[in-house]
Chain A
C-alpha cells in the first residue's frame, strides 16, 4: 500500500463518484436548489420567532448549513449499498486496490459536495442581507466544522449501507431519522424556547454542537473556547461513528 497507489485509487474512485453525479442532471439541480429551499422556506416561515439578535434569517443560516450537510451525508453511503447490490463492489474487492480507499473516497466526495452546498448557503444568505461577524475566515471555519460533523454522519450512513440487504430498507430508515433529529436540535429553534425534555434531547444531539459553533461565528465572532470545545466534541463523535462503521464495513465486505 504505497502512497502513489493510494493516490491512483482515490483519483479514479473519486472521479467515478463525480462522473455518476454528472450523468444525473436532476440530482445536480436538487443538490444546488435544496439549500435555497431551506433558507427561503424556513427563513420566511419563522420570521416572527423571538431569536437572539432578532434576525431570524441570520439565526438560522447556521442551521441551514448543518442541516444540509446532515442530510447529504446521511444518505451519502447508499451508493456503496447500490454497489453491493449490483456486484460492482465485489468486483472492486477482487482488484489489488486497498479496501480502505473505497470508503475514504466516498468521505472525500461527500465532504466536497456538502462543503460546496454550505458555501452556496453562506453566499446566498449574504446576498439576502446576513453579515458574518467573523469575516471571510469565519466562513472557512464554518465549512470546516460542517465537514467535521459530516464525517461522523457519513460513517453512520456507511455502517447502515454495509449492514442492510437492500436500498429499499435504507431510505425508510434515513427518512425516519432525518426530521426528528433536525427538529430536536437548535437548527430552527433556540434551545431556550424548547420544552424541557426536548431541550435535553437537543443537548445530546451532535448537530446542536456544530450549529452552536457556526452560530457564534456568524453572529458573535471568534469564540476560541466555543470552537475548541465543539471541535473536541465532534472529534469524539467522529471516532465513535468510525468505530461503529469499521465493524459494519468489515462484516459487509467479507
Chain B
C-alpha cells in the first residue's frame, strides 16, 4: 500500500449501484505516482464503471475516490483539469484534420490558440504523426487514429492518464507500436491507469494490476508477485484462480 502523499489515485470503499444492480462493490485500491496500473476483468466486471467514476462522469453511490489530489465528487472540475482519457469509442472527429482535432481538444482544456498549436505540434512529433497534421482524420488507419487519440488526451499535460481498452481492434504490429508509445508517455512521468482484457497487454505494460470481477477487487499486485502468490505460470492462470473461474473446456 502506498502512502497517500505518493498516490495518484486513491479509491476507498467505492460502490456504484445502477438501480438494483451493484456494478462496483466497495472497491479499494491505490495507484502510485508514475505507475502503469491495470484494471483487469471480464466484460461487465466493473472496469469501465470504475474508470467513469474516477473521470467524474458517474457519481459513486458510496465510498470515496481522489484523483491527482482532488476528490471526484467534491471537486470534479479540478480532477478533469488534471486527467486525460482515451475511451473505448472513437473520439477523433473524422471530419477534422489531425491538427484541428488536437487544437480543438486544447481549447476544451482552456489552452490559448497559440499555446494549443505549440502543444499539438510537440505531441504529434512525440507520437510520430508530424507528417500527417493536415490529413483529415477519417483517412487514418486504426492504429494511427488511436495514437492521435492518445496525443489528444495529453494536451493538458495530465497527471493521470486513463486508457479504456487501448488496443482493442488493432493488429499485432499496431498494438506493439502503441505499447511503445504508452511506455514513452509513462517515462515522462504520467501515471497511467488502463483497463484491458488482454492479459498479455497487462503483463507487457503494467507495474501492478487489480483483478476485478462482479464489481469486486479480487486481487492486487505486480504481475510477477501475483504469479507467485497464485502459483501460476501466466497471468491467465492468476486471473482464473482469482476470479474462481474454470478454464474453458
**Interface on A for B, CB 8 Å cutoff?**
5, 8-9, 11-13, 15-16, 19-20, 23-24, 86-88, 90-97
Contact = CB atoms under 8 A, between A and B. Distances in A.
B133 to A, nearest CB: 14
14 contacts: A8-B112, A9-B107, A9-B110, A12-B107, A15-B100, A16-B93, A20-B96, A23-B95, A87-B91, A88-B91, A91-B87, A92-B108, A96-B80, A96-B110
Given A9-B108, A13-B107, A91-B89, 15 more contacts: A9-B107, A9-B110, A11-B107, A12-B104, A12-B108, A19-B95, A19-B100, A20-B95, A24-B95, A94-B80, A94-B83, A95-B80, A96-B80, A97-B107, A97-B109
Interface centre among B56, B95, B113 (most CB of A within 10 A): B95
A97 B107 CA distance: 8
A5 B81 CA distance: 12
Given A16-B104, A19-B95, A20-B95, A87 B90 contact: yes
A23 to B, nearest CB: 4
Given A86-B89, A86-B90, A87-B89, A12 B96 contact: no
Contacts of A87: 87-91
Interface string B51-95: 000011100000000000000000001001101010111110101
Size band of the B side of the interface? 20 to 34
Nearest to A23: B95
Interface string B119-155: 0000000000000000010000000000000000000
Contacts, number: 73
A94 B67 CA distance: 14
Contact of A90 (B87, B95, B107, B109): B87
B136 A90 contact: no
A20 B109 contact: no
B105 A94 contact: no
Question: Helix, strand, loop or mixed for chain A's interface?
Answer: helix
A147 to B, nearest CB: 25
Interface of B: 55-57, 77, 80-81, 83, 85, 87-91, 93, 95-96, 100, 103-113, 136
Interface centre among A5, A8, A20, A91 (most CB of B within 10 A): A91
Contacts of B136: 23
A97 B55 CA distance: 14
A15 B83 CA distance: 24
Given A87-B89, A88-B93, A96-B80, A8 B107 contact: yes
A12 B80 contact: no
A150 to B, nearest CB: 24
A225 to B, nearest CB: 45
A5 B110 contact: yes
B77 A16 contact: no
Contacts of B55: 94
B57 A94 contact: yes
A11 B81 CA distance: 19
A92 B87 CA distance: 11
B112 A94 contact: no
Contacts of B104: 12, 15-16
A94 B58 CA distance: 10
B77 A96 contact: yes
B106 A91 contact: no
A87 to B, nearest CB: 3
A87 B91 CA distance: 6
Nearest to A20: B95
Contacts of B87: 87, 90-91
Contacts of A19: 95-96, 100
A71 to B, nearest CB: 22
Contacts of B56: 94
A20 B136 CA distance: 11
B110 A93 contact: no
A171 B214 CA distance: 40
A83 to B, nearest CB: 9
B96 A8 contact: no
A20 B95 CA distance: 6
Contact of A95 (B88, B95, B100, B105): B105
Contacts of B83: 94
